[in-house]
Structure 1
Amino acid sequence: MVVVTKSNFVEQSNDFLDHLPSAAFVAVDEEMTGISVGNQRPPKDETPSQRYPDLKKAPETYSIIQLGISLFHYTGDGKSPSPPVIRNPSETSPAAVPNREDPDWTVRKYNFFAFPGKDSERSVVLNPSAVAFLHQHNISFDKWTKEGVPYLLEDQAEKAVKQYTDRVLEAEAKEQQESKQPTVQEASQRRVQLRRTEDVDFFTRAMATLRNWLDTPVSATAAILNNQNPDNQNEAKNPPEGACFMLPECNSFMRRALYESIGQEYPSLILEKVPGANRIQVWRLSDAEKEQRQQRLRKEAWSDLIVERVGLFRIFFALSQVCRGFELERDSPMLASSLADVDFHKEPTLYRGARNRKVPIIVHNGFMDLCFLQTHFVSHKLPDSLAECKAAIRKYFPVIYDTKILAAECSPIHFNDNTRLGALFARVSSHLEGRVQVIRPPPPPPGESASAGSDPSITSEEHFADYDAYMTGICYLGICQCIHRMSEYPGRSGGVAVKPTVGTLTHLLEPIDDPEVRKAFGRNLLYQMSMFNLDLEISGVNDDPLCRGMNKNASYRVANTPQSTNTRDIINCLSRQMDRTGRPVVFEIVWIDDTSFIVAASYRPNGTHNNRQQNGSGDEVLMEHGRIIHNALKDRFPNSNISSMAQYLEEQEKKRLAAAAETPSEPSVVSRMLNWIGINVGSSSQQGTEGPATKKRRLD
């Protein structure tokens, strides 16, 4: 496992950027300081739009501890493998496994520790139950708080990169200007004049001490700098190169006088203000030392930008670029591998470049993961409405697949199985044995500790973000293979050579608007812990589909039933129902409260996809079964309110709109002031209504 902290962020993020563009898909998972605000469970029939205001509080409140990313690359020949079958992920090289075929897939795992920077506006809030859970699974809070990589929002990162680029260009211009010798008249115009006796005396003493230091041989100065003469308090200790002298502390006016005089009298010296002190340090360097120091300071400034300023936004930015189909500009300050690769004369604009294949993001029950990415890298606050939130997610990640949706909705052999990530991985991985290889992290450079590459003290296990991302990707591979084998979706290779970036996942090459891919693989559908799935391609308030193949027009909400009603009563009412072909009616029961429940028709012919994917016959059978269920419920519960979910949601939306129209708008400050002095100012909704005019108060 590659544990990425501030100490190895440049090296490991460069490795990530090198391999990201060629990935077939990217699996993502996160560990957070909390995932819910409050302990109250929402009603089961609550729509995603109704639930969203409460859901958004968690990503706005809590923080990411680990961001796990796994890059999956296809390395096979483009042909469908024999019954796919993933070796136990022991992070071994192919050479360590004798007598085996070359793998079809390789995986690179990254576990980024994230912690807000010292200037961050984001507070760190810990949920007690989440902390206990993470402690139970050996998450290192010490590593998180001390070594976590900072991050910025998008606009802050763009501003930081621009400021850095401007400083570099200004320094270049200053060097060119300083290379020109000023005339005597120009030099005299810039000099300040010391008139006070105490200023002149201070200036004379400071220059005298500087001259004495300059007369000291370099070897003796080096001995002092190596702390062999600690009595001299003016000497800087252990500089990276050359010799350095500290002038006495003084105000800005005197510092300017010293800058001007020393710069004119000793132009070969380098002067700079001591950080955090009102002192000047003077560097005596050879030409080679000057060049070495200049290169070191430039590298430190770029490294500070990448690690301490931009931080993890570098990863988010590159990921969103590739997912949107843009090529990475590896000569930009943010994405270059080193300072030497940066082109400072190119305008630092985010999100541009040539178009390419959109790399999909793979998540498992990942709506909250995507929302956390938004609040950490785009805006601390999520949009007010779910429709706006969907648009924001798709802006950065246009193609998303949720393995929880794939298992529960699209894969016939997993419909009734436990779809928890660990359980799903245990079943799917056995069918991919020998086909996937986890790439070891690169060894640390000579002389560096193992922390520069991997952390041997931490083993890959469930609930580490990188390993959960890895399991998510494995589940995606296995379920997609299952769908290809057992469904009616034919794929589109048709004898044509498949691009090596995706191998047998030919649906990843389809146009973004291909309805077959959307239906067969659940593209841009996200799992919700409710009766509904969340559809990122739908913006309507109550248009998100029901889960498990249920249809709103074939699902019925029964309210105000006798409190003595139980599940057995409902089953007895419906268990013997048949359609006109003698096919039994299959249904699901969801209790809302003690007197309300939902019964939904459920039909998956021949064990294939959900009902949305049938060519008409599935929907027809579903609607027929729904009518049978409706009639049986009316006979059994004649005094209860029975309506289809489509009707119920339509009525709820009408009530919401009516309540919004009746809610008076908040008066402006001016309106409140005018009302206070007696001038009534009605809202726009009240103007033009019939009735007696309001009498104005007389102003005395």
Structure 2
Amino acid sequence: MASPQGTIEVTKSNFVEKSNDFIKHLPNASFIAIDEEMTGISLPPNEVTPLSKEDSPAHRYSALKRVPERYSIIQLGISLFEQKSVTETAERDAASFIVRRYKFTMFPGADPNLSREITMHPSAMHFLRENNMSFDTWVQDGIPFCTKFNAQKVVERFLERHQRRIKAAPIMSPNNSQRLVLSRDADKQFHARCITRLREWLDAPLPTPAPTQEGVSLLLPRCNSFLRRSLYEAIQRDYPYLVVETENEQIRVWRLTDDERANRNQRLLEEDFNKYLTESVGVYRIFLALTKACRGEPIKNDLENAILAENATVATADFVPTAESPISKIPLVVHNGLMDLLFLMSHFHSPILPGDWVECKDLIHSYFPVIYDTKVLSTQYCAESPSRSHLQAVYEDTLESYPEWQLKNSDEEAEQQAHDAAFDAYMTGVSFCGLTYTIHNQCEVLPTSSNARFKLWEVSEKLEYPRWLFGRNKLHFHLSPFTIDLETHCDPLGRRISALSTFRVSNINRDITTRDILDCVRGLTDSNQRAIHVDLFWVNDTVFLVGARITSLQQSEDQSEEIFRESGKVLRCALEGRFCNGETIELLVPPARPEKTNSIWNLWGLLGSNDSPLSERPAKRRRTE
């Protein structure tokens, strides 16, 4: 996989140029991988209560949403993977990619109406500092960001200024009843002197040639805002052909020919365009381009055109929608990416996330119709789940399986490390490519024709096999047996187990060990003599979950349901034979959503770490197969 430019560092000083480069290459991407670094990913201890590992995503959501509503994105890493060629072999399809890596450093802008406050968690800051985060760049040259609503307001003002400028409309047009009336003699005398000076200047002949391409100007004496407004009104009323502007508490008056006016308007337009993108809209531009590519949507209106246009001339031209032709949706790839997606929603959609979990899932799905989570692919859809599933481990395993995908220009790779958002996004994309080919090959899914190329990222969202074979639109849910499903309103159990055959065993003796449980369920088979494999999940020292797990990844939904039901009956009989001294055995039912909860959990795993605080682990091993 070639990365021709290395990581493209994008800051406020080069934002317009580099964001144009990103928008230019975005439509050619086969898939897009993202990663983020944040100012915090867990709430302070005094604001949290212990969680139950049986909690469903809906149960935890009211506490979970408070994290992205409170903290901010520092870095947004995006890698565009563009497939260039495919060479088919007997074993697998070997893909060649051009990868473009972008790192957008984000810092709230100065406008309090567009920005959000920065809240920093000390442990997050220490973590990022240890991983060479440049806080000087973040504060001094970070790119601002805003929500969709605020971006639209900024663009509307920009377009209105442009229209007013080209029509030579006065900036202030008060009617007679609103005009200022000077009462102090000193103010009246100052006003009269300025108007007299202006008339003398207008009566004088123009210099030939003009000193600049933008005509000649007169700078009136410095005065307060009250007097400046009085002068504005008088000049605009009596000399509407003049251009009036404020400059360092003074008024500058311009005399322009038609050509000079056009040159000046073009300069101001370009400056205004660059300023509103750099100082106000900022990274929302990237979010808009990203979501439109993921949704397969063209530019729809003047506002979107003004944000995504490559220059000021295109931004202000009359927008003509193109004939709508089908555009392929580009999949978004994350690793353990629930928090990344929630942060995107809180930064670019609304700072307050929906109060209902189903509404939140629908919101994410509306922006990103096709998502793949490499944490889910590696732990639930590969024939053998890895012992380590954090990002760097999955990436290293992928390179061992596909050494030809090692990053070209390896000198640069030697300088990269995990927890840099751009390189983490790159590792996520490489892992996704390797995992999809591994799953494709292990399931022996044949191409539709002898010369067809297997490319998961070109599969229609309507087809089912990317869902049951690769887990389309399913997200990993941290420290839980559940998996988040963005395509349905309920969230199933993950790790290839089902509520049809998963049991909650409680009130067990604290002396019971993992080995005791595994001995109890070892060697079980169904009526077709298929071995029943199990997944074990410790909730605490007296409660565990155990479920029958399907190891074949080629079962249809109906076949899987039948297998789960039969395996559940066999598994329950085995459990009842072993735990018959007051223990409770029941099918796992997600707990009802509480009216109010403050539960939260450590989220360091979302930055790629596979470690969890000892205080959150039961005394026994959490999971053994």
* Cα shift at 1:488: 4.3
**Which residue identity is paired with 1:256?**
S
Residue deviations 1:377-396, cap 9 Å, x none?
00111111211111000110
In structure 1, what is the Cα distance between the partners aligned to 2:323 and 2:355?
28
SS in 2 for 1:50: helix
The aligned length equals: 576
Q: State TM-score, norm by structure 2.
A: 0.81
Q: Residue 205 and residue 509 in structure 1: after superposition, are their counterparts in 2 closer, same or farther (change >3 A)?
A: closer
**Which runs of 5 or more residues in structure 2 are unaligned?**
1-6, 597-625
SS in 1 for 2:244: strand
Pairing 1:626–2:568 present: yes
Which of 449, 470, 478 is matched with 1:494 structurally?
A: 449
8 Å contact from structure 2 (residues 91, 441) kept in 1: no
Q: Residue 538 and residue 38 in structure 1: after superposition, are their counterparts in 2 closer, same or farther (change >3 A)?
A: farther
Which residue does the alignment assign to 1:573?
520
In structure 2, what is the Cα distance between the partners aligned to 1:4 and 1:395?
27
* Cα shift at 1:9: 0.7
* Larger-gyration structure (1/2): 1
* Cα shift at 1:554: 1.2
Which residue does the alignment assign to 1:599?
546
* Cα shift at 1:458: 11
* Cα shift at 1:365: 0.6
SS in 1 for 2:292: helix
* Cα shift at 1:247: 1.8
Which of 55, 60, 72 is matched with 1:63 structurally?
A: 72
* Cα shift at 1:344: 4.0
Q: Residue 432 and residue 581 in structure 1: after superposition, are their counterparts in 2 closer, same or farther (change >3 A)?
A: closer
* Cα shift at 1:436: 7.5
Which residue does the alignment assign to 2:392?
422
Which residue does the alignment assign to 1:235?
none
Which residue does the alignment assign to 1:532?
482
Alignment of 1:284-433 (within 5 A): 290-328=261-299, 332-346=305-319, 354-413=325-384, 415-433=385-403
**Which residue identity is paired with 2:88?**
S
Residue deviations 1:532-576, cap 9 Å, x none?
111111113xxx221211121211111122333332332333335
* Cα shift at 1:268: 7.8
In structure 2, what is the Cα distance between the partners aligned to 1:284 and 1:512?
60
**Which residue identity is paired with 2:244?**
L
Which of 163, 167, 174 is matched with 1:169 structurally?
A: 163
Q: Residue 31 and residue 191 in structure 1: after superposition, are their counterparts in 2 closer, same or farther (change >3 A)?
A: closer
In structure 1, what is the Cα distance between the partners aligned to 2:352 and 2:205?
61
In structure 2, what is the Cα distance between the partners aligned to 1:519 and 1:193?
75
**Which residue identity is paired with 1:422?**
Q
Which of 607, 629, 635 is matched with 2:577 structurally?
A: 635
Pairing 1:521–2:470 present: yes
8 Å contact from structure 2 (residues 37, 421) kept in 1: yes
Q: State TM-score, norm by structure 1.
A: 0.73
Residue deviations 1:594-639, cap 9 Å, x none?
221122222414xxx27xx357655544443332321122122224
Residue deviations 1:164-190, cap 9 Å, x none?
212222222336x99xxxxxxxxx999
Tell me the percent identity. Answer: 34
8 Å contact from structure 1 (residues 85, 432) kept in 2: no
Which residue does the alignment assign to 1:682?
none
Alignment of 1:197-346 (within 5 A): 198-207=186-195, 245-250=219-224, 252=226, 255-257=229-231, 260=234, 270-274=243-247, 277=249, 279-283=250-254, 290-328=261-299, 332-346=305-319
**Which residue identity is paired with 1:429?**
L
Alignment of 1:430-469 (within 5 A): 430-434=400-404, 459-469=415-425
8 Å contact from structure 2 (residues 306, 315) kept in 1: yes
In structure 2, what is the Cα distance between the partners aligned to 1:520 and 1:144?
41
In structure 1, what is the Cα distance between the partners aligned to 2:96 and 2:198?
69
8 Å contact from structure 2 (residues 496, 550) kept in 1: yes
**RMSD of aligned residue pairs (Cα, Å):** 3.9
8 Å contact from structure 1 (residues 545, 551) kept in 2: yes
Which residue does the alignment assign to 1:12?
18
**Which residue identity is paired with 1:153?**
T
In structure 2, what is the Cα distance between the partners aligned to 1:425 and 1:36?
26
In structure 2, what is the Cα distance between the partners aligned to 1:338 and 1:427?
43
8 Å contact from structure 1 (residues 6, 149) kept in 2: yes
**Which residue identity is paired with 1:4?**
V
Structure in which a larger fraction of residues adopt strand: 2
SS in 2 for 1:34: coil
**Which residue identity is paired with 2:189?**
D
**Which residue identity is paired with 2:468?**
K
Pairing 1:550–2:497 present: yes
Pairing 1:22–2:28 present: yes
In structure 2, what is the Cα distance between the partners aligned to 1:256 and 1:457?
63
Q: Residue 262 and residue 151 in structure 1: after superposition, are their counterparts in 2 closer, same or farther (change >3 A)?
A: closer
